[in-house]
């Protein structure tokens, strides 16, 4: 390639695992460095906001944005990067569907602050200090970004071109995405880089008739490594989750947690999984159904572990349509 493409990698409400995953491509990172110039990557190199604002509109070829949008600063950065990037990629589960941070959408901002800064047993905060957007100190006024009432996905805040799934995306998925970008052989806008099948479709475990008589958590049972996890009473997100992760969890004898997001034809991952689970509950009367449902500890947190911000109830553009 004659000219190197310019890549920006940014993180918002995420854990940094996506950035590390890029390094996990091992020796291929050198190929990436050969094909691309990294113009911004706060976790790995020293960049300031000024460096980004100094860049011209459309001067970045690709922005890999990981993490969800929780604060006003993250929203501003997302918008600033969007206007400077030709292709915007929601990189990882948080940017694409909210990921783990979006589970906080089950609570109000006030509850989160109260729990984090006052109530947890490990917190010592006798003066009851809670972060404010503005604070007067002898030296002047200090400010902090606003903490929004909920977590937003990247595409609820800005226009997104592609989605790279995973928590974090596997090196294979990242490499597929990078290759597609570098070669210019891109799928239609809005595509998710991954398989079109669901995880169940390619799962090697033995599947027979499914019936759940009790919901169990993985630590409560000795899991048979050859049998379908759902048949063992363990909730596995395989039926509604996109394949492409290489079966890491089920090979380690753990259920799929859904980090590759909804599969191709599924709009709402959690609602669809809830429906699938309900159809294999082994009950025939209302009382039985209530009792069995009560043994499921946390339905919303389980079915929406990585996609709560894209649950239909929460899915709309920030600031109206």
Is 179 or 315 the residue whose CB approaches other proteins more closely? Answer: 315
70 binds other proteins (CB under 8 A): no
Rule CB under 8 A: say whether 8 interacts with other proteins.
Answer: no
CB of 168 to other proteins, least distance (A): 26
Binding-site size for other proteins (CB under 8 A) equals 60
Q: How far is the CB of 266 from other proteins (least distance, A)?
A: 9
- Cα–Cα distance measured from residue 221 to residue 269, given in angstroms and rounded to the nearest whole number: 26
Minimum distance between the CB of residue 287 and other proteins, rounded to whole angstroms? 10
Query: What are the CA-CA distances from residue 53 to residues 56, 80, 86, 157 (Å)?
Result: 8, 7, 16, 19
Q: How far is the CB of 187 from other proteins (least distance, A)?
A: 25
With contact defined as beta carbons under 8 Å apart, do 117 and 130 qualify?
Answer: yes
State in angstroms the smallest separation of the CB of 293 from other proteins: 4
| 72 lies in the site for other proteins, by CB under 8 A | yes
Would you tell me how many other CB atoms lie within 10 Å of the CB of residue 110?
A: 10
**Cα 64 to Cα 256: distance, rounded to the nearest angstrom:** 25
Distance of CA 247 to CAs 89, 192, 213, 237, Å? 24, 18, 26, 12
Q: How far apart are CA 22 and CA 18, in angstroms?
A: 6
> Among positive and negative, which fits the CA dihedral 111, 116, 118, 119?
positive
Among 278, 305, 307, 321, binds other proteins (CB under 8 A): 278
By CB under 8 A, name the binding residues for other proteins. 49-50, 53-54, 57, 72-73, 76, 79-80, 82-84, 105-106, 108-109, 133-134, 143-146, 148-150, 267-268, 270-272, 274-275, 277-279, 281, 283-286, 289-290, 292-294, 296, 298-301, 303, 311-316, 318-319
């Amino acid at each position: 390639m004659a000219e190197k493409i310019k890549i920006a990698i940014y993180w918002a409400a995420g854990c940094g695992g996506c950035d590390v995953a890029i390094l996990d491509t091992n020796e291929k990172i050198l190929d990436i460095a050969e094909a691309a110039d990294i113009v911004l990557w706060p976790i790995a190199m020293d960049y300031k906001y000024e460096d980004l604002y100094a860049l011209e509109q459309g001067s970045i070829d690709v922005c890999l944005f990981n993490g969800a949008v929780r604060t006003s600063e993250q929203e501003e950065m997302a918008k600033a990067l969007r206007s400077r990037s030709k292709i915007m990629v929601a990189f990882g589960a948080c940017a694409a569907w909210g990921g783990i941070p979006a589970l906080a959408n089950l609570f109000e901002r006030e509850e989160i602050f109260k729990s984090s800064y006052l109530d947890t047993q490990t917190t010592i905060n006798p003066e009851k200090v809670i972060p404010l957007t503005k604070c007067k100190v002898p030296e002047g006024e200090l400010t902090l970004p606003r903490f929004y009432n909920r977590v937003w996905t990247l595409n609820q805040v800005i226009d997104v071109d592609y989605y790279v799934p995973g928590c974090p995306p596997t090196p294979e998925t990242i490499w597929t995405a990078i290759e597609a970008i570098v070669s210019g052989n891109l799928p239609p806008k809005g595509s998710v880089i991954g398989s079109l099948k669901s995880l169940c479709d390619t799962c090697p475990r033995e599947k027979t008739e499914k019936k759940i008589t009790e919901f169990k958590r993985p630590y409560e049972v000795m899991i048979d490594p050859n049998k379908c996890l759902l048949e063992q009473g363990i909730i596995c997100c395989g039926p509604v989750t996109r394949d492409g992760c290489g079966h890491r969890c089920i090979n380690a004898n753990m259920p799929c947690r859904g980090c590759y997001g909804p599969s191709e034809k599924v709009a709402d991952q959690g609602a669809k999984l809830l429906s699938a689970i309900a159809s294999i509950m082994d009950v025939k009367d209302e009382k039985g159904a209530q009792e069995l449902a009560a043994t499921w500890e946390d339905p919303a947190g389980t079915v929406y572990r990585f996609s709560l911000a894209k649950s239909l109830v929460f899915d709309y553009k920030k600031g109206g349509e």
